[in-house]
Homo-oligomer: A and B are copies of this chain.
Amino acid sequence: MTAKPKKLVLGLPKGSLQDATFLMMKKAGFNISVGSRSYLPAINDPGLEGRLIRAQEISRYVEHGMLDAGITGYDWILENQSDVQVVADLIYAKQGLRPVRWVLAVPEKSPIRSVKDLRGKRIATEAVSLTRQYLRRNKVKAEVEFSWGATEAKAPELVDAIVELTETGSSLRAANLRIVDEVLQSTTKLIANRKAWKNPWKRRKIEQLALLLAGALAAETKVLLKLNVQQKNLPKVLSILPALHAPTVNRLSSEGWYSVESVVDEPVVREIIPALKEAGAEGIIEIGLNKVVP
């Protein structure tokens, strides 16, 4: 008798987070392909079953157990007030390695200057519950209505204020809106159903996923620098390399020469390459990385 193979059912976010998530999963070692039936993407791991679901809904189905785990935004976990296990913070959002922000915005010429001024006003948002939680925290009573889209066009004619997602604020400015307050910063999370989290096999699978995703994410902003250097210049070269990741130093066959390798944060590279050259480093090369696991 063959036992049914073990499977982890994993919710993947359809829509704006999808591309970034699939890329991270690929770097973590999991290829996802979406065929004509997009709800059931194929993953090249017999232990994983993907489900492609709107980010807004994933935490709901993880909570109720239709999914064992899921990748979704922190904002929608709060909006749904879902009781789930947050396993890992994956520090990416729609457009890169930084959080998105939900902000309270009003028309440029509105007299509203703080959340307190919202008393009795009408607010449109896609995140009704999130907005109500925010108002409650601030002890303000106001009417919150669900917006089906184009929220930034609604103030001031249809509503007094909006709570809307923004990355750079430029689409708010283009709509002549002013940011009054930040309601929430949100990044992507790996979450698990509380019961699945207690199942040893499932927990191990989820933790493997978390480790590999973290390794892939770390590699996003890191590169490998390699260089050769003479013994006399070695201390100076080593002093330039950031202390965080200890460089690998290795004696070469050519007398008196060393090779040095170090994983470096990408934004630092552009600062130190001129300095390394000056310090006597030769043959500097930079190599991209798929994963970095410290």
Contacts and interface: CB of A to CB of B under 8 A. Distances in A.
Interface of A: 14, 28-30, 33, 35-39, 42, 44-45, 51, 53-54, 56-57, 60-61, 66, 95-96, 145, 147-150, 153-154, 157-158, 168, 170-171, 174, 207-208, 211-212, 215, 219, 223-224, 228, 245-246, 248-254, 258-259, 263, 266-267, 269-270, 273-274, 277, 282-294
Given A60-B145, A211-B274, A266-B29, A38 B150 contact: yes
A248 B273 contact: no
A200 B266 CA distance: 25
Closest 4 CB pairs of A and B: A39-B153, A286-B291, A29-B270, A249-B253
Contacts of A293: 273, 277, 284-285
26 contacts: A29-B267, A29-B269, A36-B170, A37-B174, A38-B150, A42-B168, A54-B150, A60-B145, A174-B174, A207-B274, A208-B274, A211-B274, A215-B284, A223-B290, A224-B287, A245-B283, A246-B283, A248-B259, A249-B253, A250-B250, A269-B291, A273-B291, A285-B291, A287-B289, A287-B290, A288-B290
Indicate the member of A171, A254, A286 with the most B CB atoms within 10 Å. A286
A36 B286 contact: no
B253 A258 contact: yes
Contacts of A283: 245-246, 248, 263, 294
A157 B51 contact: yes
Indicate the member of A56, A245, A285 with the most B CB atoms within 10 Å. A285
A36 to B, nearest CB: 5
Nearest to A207: B274
A280 to B, nearest CB: 13
A56 B147 CA distance: 9
Nearest to A42: B168
Given A150-B39, A285-B291, A287-B289, A267 B44 contact: yes
Contacts of A269: 29, 291
A245 B228 CA distance: 12
Given A39-B153, A250-B250, A254-B249, A61 B285 contact: no
A232 to B, nearest CB: 15
Given A28-B270, A44-B267, A273-B291, 11 more contacts: A36-B170, A45-B267, A211-B274, A215-B273, A249-B254, A253-B258, A282-B294, A284-B292, A286-B289, A287-B287, A288-B288
